[in-house]
Chains A and B, each alone.
Chain A
Amino acid sequence: MAVAPERPRIYEGTRIPSPTPSVLEVREDLRNSEDVLTVNFGPNHPSTHGVLRLVVDLHGEEVVGLAAVVGYLHTGFEKNMEQKSWWKAITYAPRIDYLSYQNNELVFVLAVEKLLAIEVPSRATWMRMLLAELNRIHSHLVWLGTAALELGAISMFWYCFRERDRILDLFELVAGFRMHTRYFQVGGLAEDVPPGFWDECAKFVEVMPKAIDDYEALVDRSEIWLERTQGIGLLSADDAIALGQSGPVLRGSGVDWDLRRAQPYLAYDQVDFRVPVYDEGDVYARYRVRMEEMRESVKIVDQAMRRMPGGPWIADDRKVVLPPREELHTSMESLIHHFKIVTEGFRVPEGEVYVTVESPRGELGCYVVSDGGPKPWRVKFRAPSFVALEATATCMSNALIADMIAIVGSLDTVMGEVDR
């Protein structure tokens, strides 16, 4: 193996373009030059992870100007959720980010529970954590497969989707759906975990670390991969914080920050895991962070599986939670509760809350306003992908057109979440 060239050190000062932080403007001396070619990259391009449009000014191979244009996938989730009862609005949340659906579902349900001040049984809390971590692995696998595919490592895609399918099988076992599970209810889980799940989950925990070894063997010593990722798309720690970056992008820039540890929710303070941090701030660092996060997530799944508490899986609050199915045949009161919750929905006390979780893409926030009625007054998601795209202009200084693919890929954006 040839000796890799030394990776460029992270820059001093700031590289955020001024005055508009998200637009890289063409330099003065090139502004009216005939050599500068403006190219529309997207909205339909195989490497834009959906429908991202980049307006790129090219000077030869060099990217001298860039502006990201989003909104092609705007479907009005937030407006739609205002028209539905709290109970029905949960269905919308997972569809916002179609790769980390359970985290989106979780953050909305946690926000509603915070307004209701309802206590969630520990079995539900641990199961939510287990599924959220499986979902993190799932999301990183799709990222790794597609990001490597864009840089020419085609076989990686098939390997990653092999394990991804195992995770989808697990979700299907639990919730009956492979994607957009809507398994989290306000107060707990929709159903208890089926007994067959634990054996399958144990098999997965055994297989996954070896699979990650496989992925690393595929690309970690590939000179093409190293050449195309190391020293590309630099983002310093200060710039990353100023640009609101979170998740693997932030940790790849040397900021040791993870909400699972800094602001523990669910049962993250009771499990043992490490937060990987890399200082280089390049595409390769973000890749390394995600690879190690997958290993840590497997550990959390393993611990959650072994220490899963028994008992009820949903809170016993008849004003919010649907009564057990069998009671509907014998109890008039249960039937009334069931009817009221399904037709009108439950009421949530007046107030506003902002709840955050660490999704695979970073800080996922949900701001919810209730007027005390059966529908949300306002739901606003803080989408980490949306914020990640703001950093494209900063990462792209001195980049070539081929690097752009690697950089946009490394930010791991899901356009459904960007446009909501």
Chain B
Amino acid sequence: MQVEEGHGETTVVVDTPRLVDAALHLRDELGFNFLSDVAATDYLGWGAKGVSGYIGTRGGRDLNEPATQGHQRLPQQKPSRFSVCYHLLGMKAGAPRVRLQAWIDDGEHVPSLVGVWPTADWHEREAFDLMGIRFDGHPNQRRILMDDDWEGHPLRKDYPIGGEPVRFSGEE
């Protein structure tokens, strides 16, 4: 377990096997009784985009890249491809907030927190649908925003933008 501070916010990074224990501790011992949000992020290609600015990036210099600004410095490396963030709120004086964060690679699973906060139900379905993260023990792990037979997970960084065939109802 590791605690990070940044931009005035606290992030608690835990290993995935201990996620449920950490969540129960935060809820019962420290009073974070409200799960506000579950946000998954894909860090594929983080800091590696080729840009033509004067400041270097891992991808090198590419004059044909339309966005011409490079990074002032390379962003800090991330431990794995995906992060899953649980934004918690304590409903008491001062409204303390904490971000519970787990890191996983493609294909790895995260334990479901539906048993801790029932509201995690749809949030985890959304993370599965759009980011392809599987939650072990989720009672209803299905797509929620996309069609049931949709292929791929649209918010992943390797999901193609544009050029997707649009299905019309009259088309066979």
A is bound by B: yes
Q: Identify the A interface with B (CB < 8 A).
A: 16, 19-23, 70-71, 74, 76, 78-79, 83, 114-115, 117, 241-244, 255, 257, 259, 262-263, 344, 347, 350-354, 356, 363, 365, 367, 369, 371-375, 377-378, 380, 382, 386-387, 389-390, 419-420
Chain A residue nearest in CB terms to B140: A20
Are B121 and A344 in contact (CB-based, < 8 A)? no
Given A114-B8, A372-B73, the answer on whether A390 and B87 have CB atoms closer than 8 Å is no
Q: Determine the chain B residues whose CB is within 8 A of the CB of A242 once the complex forms.
A: 117-119
Residue B41 CB within 8 A of the other chain: yes
Q: Determine the chain B residues whose CB is within 8 A of the CB of A115 once the complex forms.
A: 7
Q: Determine the chain B residues whose CB is within 8 A of the CB of A350 once the complex forms.
A: 75-76
Are B69 and A344 in contact (CB-based, < 8 A)? yes
Residue B128 CB within 8 A of the other chain: no
Are B154 and A76 in contact (CB-based, < 8 A)? yes
Q: Total A-B pairs in contact (CB under 8 Å)?
A: 133
Are B37 and A372 in contact (CB-based, < 8 A)? no
Are A71 and B145 in contact (CB-based, < 8 A)? yes
Residue B79 CB within 8 A of the other chain: no
Q: Determine the chain A residues whose CB is within 8 A of the CB of B72 once the complex forms.
A: 347, 372
Are A244 and B119 in contact (CB-based, < 8 A)? yes
* A76, A371, A387: the one within 8 Å of B122 (CB): A387
Please name 16 pairs of A and B residues whose Cβ atoms are closer than 8 Å in the assembled complex, sorted by A. A16-B118, A19-B139, A70-B145, A71-B147, A79-B161, A244-B35, A255-B91, A344-B69, A347-B69, A351-B6, A353-B9, A354-B9, A375-B67, A386-B126, A390-B118, A390-B119
Are B8 and A372 in contact (CB-based, < 8 A)? no
* A79, A344, A367: the one within 8 Å of B37 (CB): A367
Query: In the complex, A356 Cα to B119 Cα: how many Å?
Result: 17
Nearest Cβ on chain B to A118's Cβ, whole angstroms: 12
Query: In the complex, A255 Cα to B91 Cα: how many Å?
Result: 10
Are A263 and B95 in contact (CB-based, < 8 A)? yes
Chain B residue nearest in CB terms to A17: B118
Nearest Cβ on chain A to B66's Cβ, whole angstroms: 9
Residue B134 CB within 8 A of the other chain: no
Are B118 and A382 in contact (CB-based, < 8 A)? no
Nearest Cβ on chain B to A261's Cβ, whole angstroms: 9
Are B95 and A365 in contact (CB-based, < 8 A)? no
Are B119 and A378 in contact (CB-based, < 8 A)? no
Are B155 and A79 in contact (CB-based, < 8 A)? yes
Q: Determine the chain A residues whose CB is within 8 A of the CB of B36 once the complex forms.
A: 244, 354, 356, 363, 365, 382
**CB contact list, B70-109 vs A, under 8 A:** 71-73, 75-76, 85, 87, 89, 91, 93-95, 97, 99
In the complex, the 5 A-B pairs of residues with the closest C-beta atoms, listed nearest first: A244-B119, A21-B118, A382-B37, A263-B95, A19-B139
Nearest Cβ on chain B to A29's Cβ, whole angstroms: 22
Query: In the complex, A241 Cα to B94 Cα: how many Å?
Result: 18
**CB contact list, B38-58 vs A, under 8 A:** 39, 41-43, 46-47, 49, 51
Chain B residue nearest in CB terms to A382: B37
10 new A-B contacts at CB < 8 Å, known A20-B139, A22-B121, A372-B75: A22-B122, A70-B144, A78-B130, A78-B155, A79-B155, A114-B8, A241-B34, A255-B91, A354-B9, A382-B36
Nearest Cβ on chain B to A245's Cβ, whole angstroms: 8
Nearest Cβ on chain B to A6's Cβ, whole angstroms: 30
Query: In the complex, A374 Cα to B65 Cα: how many Å?
Result: 13
Residue B114 CB within 8 A of the other chain: yes
Nearest Cβ on chain A to B138's Cβ, whole angstroms: 9
Q: Determine the chain A residues whose CB is within 8 A of the CB of B147 once the complex forms.
A: 71
Nearest Cβ on chain A to B60's Cβ, whole angstroms: 15
Q: Determine the chain B residues whose CB is within 8 A of the CB of A114 once the complex forms.
A: 7-8
Nearest Cβ on chain B to A171's Cβ, whole angstroms: 28
Residue B3 CB within 8 A of the other chain: no
* B87, B91, B146: the one within 8 Å of A354 (CB): B87
Query: In the complex, A47 Cα to B49 Cα: how many Å?
Result: 47
* A83, A353, A382: the one within 8 Å of B7 (CB): A353
Q: Determine the chain A residues whose CB is within 8 A of the CB of B51 once the complex forms.
A: 373
Q: Determine the chain B residues whose CB is within 8 A of the CB of A23 once the complex forms.
A: 140
Query: In the complex, A235 Cα to B41 Cα: how many Å?
Result: 33
Are A374 and B121 in contact (CB-based, < 8 A)? no
Residue B33 CB within 8 A of the other chain: yes
Q: Determine the chain A residues whose CB is within 8 A of the CB of B118 once the complex forms.
A: 16, 21, 242-244, 390
Nearest Cβ on chain A to B55's Cβ, whole angstroms: 10
Are B95 and A259 in contact (CB-based, < 8 A)? yes
